Amino acid sequence: MTDTAAAGTRTATQTASKSEQAYAAVKARIVDGSYSPGYRLVLAKIAEDLGVSVVPVREAIRRLEAEGLVKFERNVGATVSGIDPTEYLYTMQTLSIVEGAATALSAPLIGGPDIARARAVNAEMRACLQHFDPVRFTRLNQDFHSILFEHCPNPHILDLVHRGWNRLASLRSSTFRFVPRRAHESVDEHEALLRLIEAAADADEIEKAARLHRSATLDAYLAQNNAGSHNAH
Amino acid sequence: MTDTAAAGTRTATQTASKSEQAYAAVKARIVDGSYSPGYRLVLAKIAEDLGVSVVPVREAIRRLEAEGLVKFERNVGATVSGIDPTEYLYTMQTLSIVEGAATALSAPLIGGPDIARARAVNAEMRACLQHFDPVRFTRLNQDFHSILFEHCPNPHILDLVHRGWNRLASLRSSTFRFVPRRAHESVDEHEALLRLIEAAADADEIEKAARLHRSATLDAYLAQNNAGSHNAH
DNA sequence: GAGTACGAAATCGTATACGAAAACTATTGC
DNA sequence: GCAATAGTTTTCGTATACGATTTCGTACTC
């Protein structure tokens, strides 16, 4: 029902198979948090909700399983995956790696207009911090990074980044809490990142900066939730 | 990840669902090259071959699509993906990134016995070069890297590496050609990588070495096929 | 009162069937 | 000879149906 992404909705609806429809619908509900981690996905129920039969729903769920958004167990059913903090750690770590790479690959292709757009978004983010609007902040954050990725020439990496974002979104709805102090730093890091890109810095340098940006958020999360197992990097 | 635990292994094998069976079978055929890129996957035919109905086959193929091994088109059908050299480039580039990360994350956990095992494998690889055995060489190469990854604490990254290997295997069967000179260098790089790990080098250094190792193979491939579009890194 | 066994309900897994879309082929007109 | 079109065949997409498996509740025994 709640089509968050307005992209191509009209055309898509026309051509969308029921299986696509089910896939998109369930995915959207997971990402936006309607189905939170651990939620039991009953085929028949979803099928009825969507007005289709179970076969396409089942197919959709298996696809989501392959993307890591749901966990599937034989003869038992599917649940939305990723309840524990460990999952969050793994997802963030993976995302920091692919996102760093995507940003580095994309950087040489970013033009002046993109930079300007990114700056505008970042300015809005800063504004959000003042009137405390975490929801909008998160959305803008995604926009900001999307601008940095969108020129990435390697579609596979781009795909991995998007999957990471989706996983993150699904986890975030239940485990993530907004950390204003970290958010301030985040906005500053965005600015630094843009300067690096503008200066046509070394790809390694850009990658490292992008990766650290993400890792820092992970660290902030771990510190806040004082999770004991902080091994990596 | 893999259910290595003896508990339930027998039962699991016994109860493998048809969908699971179809998934494994088709995947295996793609990876081993029986179905080469571009091959048309007709649901009914595969279903008949496997002695099951089309529903589980369809499900399996959709899962493989989500993994990137097949390309699916509405009302047309599925084909094994990845025909062109560009695809090879993207796959290798992605793999170099996730594999580099996996190796770096795994390195601190690698012990003496692992190093010894890896050295033994590498020695065998060197031997393969003398009596020119590309097939065995490729297999050993996979074994070598597997030893480096197997301690990677982040299952998501490990999963991405495995997917990359699978994609690579499916592409390789049609596009890859064995390059002895590069193979010699590869074996030397393995040795250097082991020394870095033994010396407990900086994670960044290990990651960079592992990534370059993979990138060099990509470069050799591109040089050999003198593909014009050599943009990245 | 606790634990076990049995039965009912819920849910999954897949075969079959049929409608719909695309691909292929043959025919007709120019 | 070529192109466009109509008809045929192939193949996909999904609803329905039913057997298999798990789960949950209840009654029975110790």
Domain identity same for B136 and B35: no
Q: Assess whether B205 and B125 both reside in one domain.
A: yes
Residue B63 to residue A58, Cβ atoms within 8 A: no
Question: Of A37, A60, A80, which residue is a domain's last?
Answer: A80
Q: Residue A103: enclosing H or E segment and its boundaries? A: helix A85-106
Q: For A66, which of B15, B66, B156 is closest by C-beta distance?
A: B66
**Final residue of a structural domain among A48, A80, A112:** A80
Question: Which residue has better confidence, A231 or B78?
Answer: B78
A68 in the same domain as A90: no
Contact between chains at B74 and A154 (C-beta distance less than 8 A): no
- Whether A192 maps to a domain, the answer reads yes
Counting residues of chain A whose pLDDT is more than 70, the rounded percentage is: 86
For the stretch A54-85, pLDDT in tens is 999 999 999 999 988 999 999 999 999 876 77
Q: Tell me, what's the pLDDT at A81?
A: 87
Scanning every strand, the nucleotide with its C1' closest to A17's CA turns out to be D13
Shared domain check, B153 and B102? yes
User: Which of A59, A80, A101 represents a domain boundary (last residue)?
Assistant: A80
Nearest CA to CA, how far is B90 from chain A (Å)? 6
Asked whether residue A157 is assigned to any structural domain, the reply reads yes
Contact A167, A91 (CB under 8 A): yes
Confidence (pLDDT) at B83: 63
User: For residue A233, is it within any domain?
Assistant: no
Residue B77, CA: closest nucleotide via C1'?
A: D12
Instruction: Using only the alpha carbons of chain A, give its radius of gyration.
Output: 19
Residues A20 and A128 in one domain: no
Long-range contacts of B213-217 (CB under 8 A, 24+ apart): B213/B186, B213/B189, B214/B92, B214/B95, B214/B96, B214/B99, B214/B100, B215/B92, B215/B93, B215/B96, B216/B182, B216/B185, B216/B186, B216/B189, B217/B92, B217/B182, B217/B186
Contact B66 A68 (CB under 8 A): no
pLDDT tens across B43-66, in order? Answer: 999 999 999 999 999 999 999 999
The enclosing domain of A76 has a CATH number of 1.10.10.10
B230 within domain boundaries: no
Q: What is the ipTM of this complex?
A: 0.82
Q: What is the CB neighbour count within 10 angstroms for residue B36?
A: 16
Nucleotide D22 C1' to residue A76 CA (A): 7
Instruction: Please judge whether B232 and A91 are an interchain contact, meaning their C-beta atoms are less than 8 angstroms apart.
Output: no
B182 with B93, same domain: the answer is yes
CB burial string A56-84: b at 16+ within 10 A, e below: bbbbbbbbbbbbbbbbbeeeeebbbbbbe
Determine the Cα–Cα distance for residues B94 and B86; give it in Å rounded to an integer: 12
Tell me, yes or no, whether A106 and A75 share the same domain. no
Under 8 Å CB-to-CB from B116, ≥6 apart: which residues?
none
What CATH number did the domain enclosing B153 receive? 1.20.120.530
Query: What's the CA gap between B191 and B212, in Å, rounded?
Result: 14
Give B65: exposed, middle or buried? Use CB within 10 Å, 0-12, 13-18, 19+. Answer: middle
Which of residues 78 through 117 in chain B touch A, CB cutoff 8 A?
90-91, 93-94, 97-98, 101, 105
For strands A77-80 and A70-73, give the pairing.
antiparallel
The reply to whether B42 Cβ lies less than 7 angstroms from strand D is yes
The 3-state DSSP composition of chain A as helix, strand, coil percent (nearest 5) reads 70, 5, 25
Question: Do A136 and A212 fall within a single domain?
Answer: yes
Q: Which chain D positions have some atom within 7 A of a protein CB?
A: 10-17, 21-23
The more confident residue out of A219 and A181 is A219
Distance A47 CA to D17 C1' (A): 16
Same domain, A43 and A101: no
Cβ of residue A17 closer than 8 Å to a chain B Cβ: yes
**Mean pLDDT across the stretch B88-110?**
94
Instruction: Tally helices (H) and strands (E) across chain B.
Output: 10, 3
Bases of chain C below 7 A from a protein C-beta are 11-17, 21-23
Average pLDDT, chain A: 85
**pLDDT tens, A161-188?**
999 998 888 877 655 566 777 888 999 9
Tell me whether residues B62 and A67 touch, CB distance under 8 A.
no
pLDDT digits (tens, 9 = 90+) for B156-201: 999 999 999 988 888 776 555 667 778 889 999 999 999 999 998 8
pLDDT of B9 higher than 90:
no
The reply to whether B35 and B51 lie within a common domain is: yes
- Give B207-227 pLDDT, tens digit per residue: 999 999 999 888 887 887 664
Task: Indicate whether B44 and B148 sit together in one domain.
Answer: no
CB-nearest partner of A63 from B55, B62, B91: B62
Q: Is the pLDDT of residue A16 over 70?
A: yes
Contact B161, B149 (CB under 8 A): yes
pLDDT at B173: 63
In which domain, by residue range, is B91 found? 85-224
Q: How many distinct structural domains can be found in chain A?
A: 2
Query: Has residue A200 been placed in a domain?
Result: yes
Residues 63-102 of A with CB under 7 A from strand C: 74-78
Q: Would A24 be classed as within a structural domain?
A: yes
Residue A2 belongs to some domain of the structure: no
By three-state DSSP, how is residue B100 classified?
A: helix
**Is any atom of nucleic acid chain C found less than 7 Å from the CB of residue A200?**
no
Query: Per the domain annotation, does A114 fall within a domain?
Result: yes
pLDDT at A11: 37
pLDDT of res. A226 = 60
Burial class (CB in 10 A: 0-12, 13-18, 19+), A175: middle
Same domain, B133 and B74: no
